[in-house]
Structure 1
Amino acid sequence: MTRIAIGGFLHESHSFAPIPTTWADFLSPGGWPAVQRPATLLDTLRPSAVPAAGAIKAAEAAGVTLAPLSWGFANPAGPVTAEAFERLAALIFHDLQAALDEGPLDGLYLDLHGAMVAEHFPDAEGELLRRARAILGPDVPITASLDPHCNLTAAMVEYADALAPFRTYPHVDMKEAGARAMALLLDRIRLGRPFAKAFRQLDYLIPITGQCTLVPPMADAMAARAALASRTEVAELGLCFGFPYADFPDCGVGIAAYAVDQARADAAADGLLADLKAREVAFTPDIHAAKEGVAKAIKLADKARKPIVLADTQDNPGGGGHGDTTGLLAELIAQRAEGAVLALINDAESAAACHAAGEGAVVALSLGGKSDGAPLSVQARVLRLTDGRFMCTGPMAGGNWADLGPTALVSPTPGVRVIVTSRKMQAYDQALFRHVGVEPSTQRILALKSSVHFRADFQPIAEAVLVVAAPGPVVADPATLPFTRLRPGLRLRPGDNRRTA
């Protein structure tokens, strides 16, 4: 019987985010499972929304015996500390060696992100795959699922037999990608030899807001990818959009093709690279300044039947933001945006003060601003208190339990409400609102700490979506960041040759 080891290590790292990612962040990751050891991995991840859940289901359906390792996830933030990286890596590879001691392994599946930067390993996934290959030797197949924000590297392609990124952003196919990576692993085992590989990198960065697969140009690029994969008959044609906040040479868009022969792999990779080069100018982002965006939202809401959504993209907790900057909130208050609800402000101190005061109380808060030193002083009425625990219901994270710690719904000025939490979470699920007694579909304006993931659950209920740029580290234009380690010639804006690495 085929025996396959399964583990994972997921983090998306922002080189310029103000707060590093520590071991504690893997132990309490908000809306995702905490660190799992072999005894708990299968039962905990099987009902969840993570990629490994899809891999587990596919393996069990194929009659595979799974050897669980360790698995861990932390929300996006600054680079992973050396301590945190080595602690989780040590668990995974200790478990891998123990699995080998119990008997031969036919393969290894890893649930990875692809955009992790550790303090001492900029290409963190490349290092993880190198260690796995060193333990297993050259002949045991290894595959991994990846987030499409992966900054794909030559080392990752070298040490893995195949890599399978999600096809969607918002990520509504995470389990499908895990299942595809497992299917590729089983195909590789049956083939009895490695796939031919082709690796390509694009010469310009795509801003995070231009990577949404629900709308052009990325929707069209992904359709072209599918057509190329079918025409060239490759086993996998993976497109990684890149995470344009990682300061290391391989930051950016990457392509990996896998086929039974080199000609097919090269044809698929070269075809997709040419397609992306032809679409370059279409990836220029459409962003509103916060003041302009709020004014437009108020005007649209006066005639709308559904909510106007404001996406606070630059403080996106899913991109390394802390979820606590107050620029958009200040603008909502200044313009008296009646019927606006902001999700969320991550501020444990303010949440604790609200819980101490009780529902109905008016409390003085120095709200948010813990990450950038710019809190907002308000007198807020406490409307609702919760423990911050709820089950996500949306298409991206449905089935995952969120645990945001003591949480409060407050009103810092008449007509404007804010969800204040003790832990950060990207605002991609309507359950975040409902657990504090707010029905999102009936609000005039929803302000969300998110760049794109919110679209999966909120775009269907929105009259209009406006992406706004208020203060925060997840800048809408990566060319404004102080990069020092990118590869020479990489252009930092689509269609602009003036700003290169």
Structure 2
Amino acid sequence: MPKHPVIAIAGLACETSTFSPARTAAADFHPRRGREIIDRYAFLHSGTPLGDKASWEGALIGHALPGGVVTRLAFEGLANEIVTRLAQICESCTVDGLWFDIHGAMCVEGMNDAEAELLQRIRVVIGSRVIVSASMDLHGNVSPQLAHQTDLITCYRMAPHEDELDTKERACRNLVGMLTSKDYTSNRPFKAWSKIPILLPGEQTSTRAEPAKGLYELVPQAESTRGVIDAAIWVGYAWADEPRSHAVVMVTGWDAEAVTQQAHRLATQFWDSREAFHFVAPTGTLAECIEHALQSDRRPFFISDSGDNPTAGGAGDVTWTLARVLARPEFQATDGPVVVYASIPGQQAADTIARAGVGATVTVIAGAEVDSIHEGPITMTGRVHAIKHGDRDAIIECVLQVGSVFVVITKLRKPYHHESDFTELNLAPRSADIVMVKIGYLEPELYEMAADWRLALTPGGVDQDLPRLGHCRIHRPMWPFDKSFAKLPDLTPRLIPSSNEAFPDNFQG
């Protein structure tokens, strides 16, 4: 092994709802290539411990906003480019490792296990000798096939994902540590995989609250066990109707007994906690949440329009909630309670508002260009409050005041997670009476800002009422779809074959 191992980087990341009519195209991944990948991650830069211990070679990574299923054309184009670029890297040097930078809940037209398919194609090029370390979102799905083709695998330990970069750095640190260890030979770590028949949305499994908080606090304890390299718990992704959609525990390390014991401990704790999971905030119908906000004296009062959350896979253009907000008499007059609503996409509406300019009165039609299942497009007449050009996702952002409601209208969909997202549009969310955001649990800045908060159970491609979505391909029984189990699930961890061994056709997972 050379003094500095060569590690390639590749991966595609997109959290995709199979219940959304939206489709994700290649351009949505905003691909980065070569040096652009290294530049993205400061922990790989020269002068850092990881940057100085390995030679990093970027192939291609793509990170798309959560959305609808990825088109087969997009996947094939990006996957082929990844394979081609990796082949070029392998021709120029001996590749020792691969960092597989993924999310884990990417659904592709005509595929059941997109990340495993992508890694299988990558393995054809890099071979079975190369050590692969994957980093994932805890809302990803880990099939036995994906676990088989990786050697090291880890995921976030916080929801919201404040530890995203820490997790990616850990995946790289584990990989570099293995490749540079004086004791490393050609042996591969043991991988204990346990399937847990639970499928819950992130809003019921936030690590801000119990039981997820306590469950994830057990992960570092398991990781500190002698013979263990890494421990991870995947909640899974609830809005993908695929056989691999369920919770998983994986523990990797050099001691088969230790990884098996720790995986069983975590899996058992997860299963035993199933009835304790609850929404991270008080919930209700939209009408109930608005009534509570109007009666409250706590400002600003946040309401999550959760069913169309674009950062969970919603199309982002469902008009159901906005139509009902604008119809309420409390918000008809300009001196009514100040409501900020973020957001609704409308390509023509954004262009029209941008041409009209701030201060103009315009009538526009927006929304339901993609998801019109629940409500059609909405017509609004109001005064243009703000216009902003150049956002990476939205392209154009506008604010239209309709009565006392300040509606953020975008050319393309965009999530609103930061206070600056509002202030740069001449909005003052801290001074508003109600702030309504297409989101599930509040991201850190919004959570800090909110004096109070309710999660509205609204319709959309990421509806929090999972049973009414109509899953038909997940394995049953599955909590909470099924509350009665004829027999308790077998949580015994299975040792996944190493990546340089054949995967058995009769693997029981």
TM above 0.5, yes or no, is: yes
In the alignment, which residue of structure 2 is the partner of 1:457? 445
Task: Give the corresponding residue for 1:437.
Answer: 426
Q: Deviations over 1:189-232 (max 9, x none)?
A: 23332111101111121123112112222212211333333346
The equivalent of 2:456 in structure 1 is: 468
Instruction: For residue 237 of structure 1, report the CA deviation from its aligned partner.
Output: 0.7
Q: Take 2:468 and 2:26, find their aligned partners in 1: how far apart are those partners? A: 30
Determine the structure 2 residue equivalent to 1:30: none
Per-residue deviation, residues 374-428 of structure 1 (Å, max 9, x unmatched): 1222212111111053xxxxxxxxxxxx441121111122x21111111212222
User: Identity of paired residues, percent?
Assistant: 26
CA–CA distance in structure 2, aligned partners of residues 159 and 138 of structure 1: 9
Cα distance change on mapping 1:246 and 1:388 into 2, 3 Å: same
Which residue does the alignment assign to 1:134? 124
Matched, 1:18 2:11: no
Indicate whether 1:315 and 2:311 are aligned: no
**One-letter amino acid of the structure 2 residue matched with residue 361 of structure 1:** A
Report the alpha carbon displacement of residue 472 of structure 1 after superposing the two structures with TM.
1.3
Give CA-to-partner distance per residue, 1:60-107, whole Å, 9 cap, x none: 444311111111122112211111001111111111111110010111
Q: 2:253 aligns with which of 250, 253, 259?
A: 259
Instruction: Give the Cα–Cα distance (whole angstroms) in 2 for the partners of residues 314 and 264 of structure 1.
Output: 41
- Aligned pairs (5 A) from 1:216-231: 216-231=210-225
Aligned with residue 31 of structure 2, among 32, 35, 52: 35
Deviations 1:232-278 (A, max 9, x none): 66211111111111111110211111011111111111101111111
Partners of 1:307 and 1:481 lie apart in 2 by: 32
Give 1:109-128 correspondences, 5 Å limit: 109-128=99-118
Alpha-carbon contact 2:231-2:252 (below 8 Å) kept: yes
Match of 1:447 among 421, 436, 445: 436
1:168 is aligned, of 136, 158, 177, to: 158
Tell me how far 1:345 sits from its aligned partner.
1.0
Q: Which residue of 2 aligns with 1:68?
A: 58
In structure 2, distance between residues paired with 1:80 and 1:342: 28
* Paired position in structure 2 for 1:6: 9
Partner of residue 283 from structure 1, selected from 263, 277, 282 = 277
What is residue 387 of structure 2 aligned with on the other side? 385
Range moving further from structure 2, 188-197 or 340-349: 188-197
Alignment of 1:303-452 (within 5 A): 303-304=297-298, 306-333=299-326, 334-337=328-331, 338-373=337-372, 374-389=376-391, 402-413=392-403, 415-452=404-441
Where structure 1 has 5 or more consecutive residues not aligned to the other structure, the ranges are 27-33, 47-52, 390-401
Q: Using the TM superposition, give the Cα deviation of residue 359 of structure 1 relative to its aligned residue in structure 2, in angstroms.
A: 1.5
Q: Map of 1:84-233 to 2, 5 A cutoff?
A: 84-189=74-179, 190=181, 191-192=184-185, 193-231=187-225
SS of the residue 2:362 aligns to: strand
Aligned residue for 1:49?
Answer: none
C-alpha displacement of 1:456: 1.1
Q: Which is worse superposed, 480-489 or 166-175?
A: 480-489
Question: Deviation above 6 Å: which 4+ runs of structure 1?
Answer: none
**1:274 paired residue among 268, 273, 297:** 268
Partner AA of 2:378 in structure 1: L
Residue 375 of structure 1 aligns with an amino acid whose one-letter code is P
Q: Is the 2:38–2:44 Cα contact (8 Å) retained in structure 1?
A: no
Q: TM-score w.r.t. structure 2 length?
A: 0.87
CA distance in structure 2 between the partners assigned to 1:217 and 1:232 by the alignment? 26
Aligned partner of residue 386 in structure 1, secondary structure? strand
**Alpha-carbon shift at residue 24 of structure 1 (Å):** 3.0
Q: Distance in 2 between matches of 1:293 and 1:56?
A: 47
Structure 2 counterpart of 1:294: 290
Which amino acid in the other structure matches residue 350 of structure 2? A
> TM-score, structure 1 length as denominator?
0.89
- Asked whether the 8 Å contact 1:408–1:420 carries over to 2, the reply is yes
Residues 116-138 of structure 1, C-alpha deviations (whole Å, 9 max, x = no match) = 11112221111112122222222
SS at match of 2:32: coil
**Runs of 5+ in structure 2 lacking a partner?**
332-336, 487-509
Rounded to whole Å, the distance in 2 between the matches of 1:55 and 1:451 is 32
The answer (yes or no) to whether the contact 1:116–1:125 under 8 Å persists in 2 is: yes
Distance 1:214 1:232, change over 3 A: farther
Taking the aligned partners of 1:215 and 1:83, their CA distance within structure 2 comes to 41
Aligned residues: 467
Mapped partners of 1:268, 1:387: distance in 2: 51
Amino acid at match of 2:382: A
- With over 3 angstroms needed to count, the CA separation of the structure-2 counterparts of 1:350 and 1:226, relative to structure 1, is same
For 1:99 and 1:66, how far apart are their aligned partners in 2?
11
- Cα–Cα, structure 1 residues 17 and 409, in superposed 2: closer, same or farther, change >3 Å? same
Kept in 1, the 8 Å contact 2:101–2:134? The answer is yes
